[in-house]
């Protein structure tokens, strides 16, 4: 619980830094959070770091969008905002027909009530590589731009790396450089919230490539 609590506080500190005017913040959170619901934990997640940070930003009058690029669907984050129109949630993830959480993350899930149209799921087949992934990310960013957010939260998972023991996609560390470049086109403040990634030898190179693409 101590680790989960301070992981969430790390994300909150990142959100507060954006409110204070920082253009880019990286919240190195562990344990991750995107599978946690308000009343349910799962997938190593106990408190939903990204959702908590987005709620703070919304409470401060900001209009957040959340882009989840972890290998697994951010089912907890989706659930938090599924009925709301003030936060847009988009997730690229392995098809739930093949991968955890299995029951959530289908393309037909688009929000409910006031939140209808404010959720976008882009499930990907196993073995998806860089070219197809970047094409899906283009679609995601187009939808986010249409929402016109004034801040972007990225649930940043590296378990999309080829060889990740909990993954099934085929991105290489260098694939995160063009991913970062695409996100660099978003001209509003960005909060990166660390999610999964379990191929320990690949985490550093993937993060460096991502930050190079995002900041250069």
Q: Which of the residues are catalytic?
A: 35
> What is the largest distance, in Å, between two alpha-carbon atoms of the chain?
44
């Amino acid at each position: 619980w101590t680790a989960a609590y301070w992981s969430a506080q790390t994300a909150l500190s990142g959100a507060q830094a954006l409110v204070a005017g920082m253009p880019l913040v990286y919240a190195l959170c562990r344990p991750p959070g995107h599978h946690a619901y308000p009343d349910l934990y799962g997938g190593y997640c106990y408190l939903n770091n990204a959702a908590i940070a987005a709620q703070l930003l919304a409470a401060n009058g900001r209009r957040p969008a959340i882009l989840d690029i972890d290998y697994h669907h951010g089912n907890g984050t989706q659930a938090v905002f599924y009925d709301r129109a003030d936060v847009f949630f988009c997730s690229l993830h392995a098809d739930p027909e093949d991968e955890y959480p299995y029951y959530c993350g289908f393309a037909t899930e688009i929000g409910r009530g006031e939140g209808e149209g404010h959720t976008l799921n882009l499930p990907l087949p196993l073995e998806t590589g860089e070219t197809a992934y970047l094409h899906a990310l283009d679609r995601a960013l187009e939808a986010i731009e249409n929402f016109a957010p004034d801040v972007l939260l990225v649930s940043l998972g590296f378990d999309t790396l080829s060889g990740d023991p909990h993954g099934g996609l085929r991105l290489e560390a260098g694939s995160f450089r063009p991913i970062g470049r695409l996100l660099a086109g978003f001209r509003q403040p960005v909060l990166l919230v660390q999610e999964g990634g379990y191929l320990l030898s690949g985490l550093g190179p993937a993060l460096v490539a991502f930050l190079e693409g995002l900041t250069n």
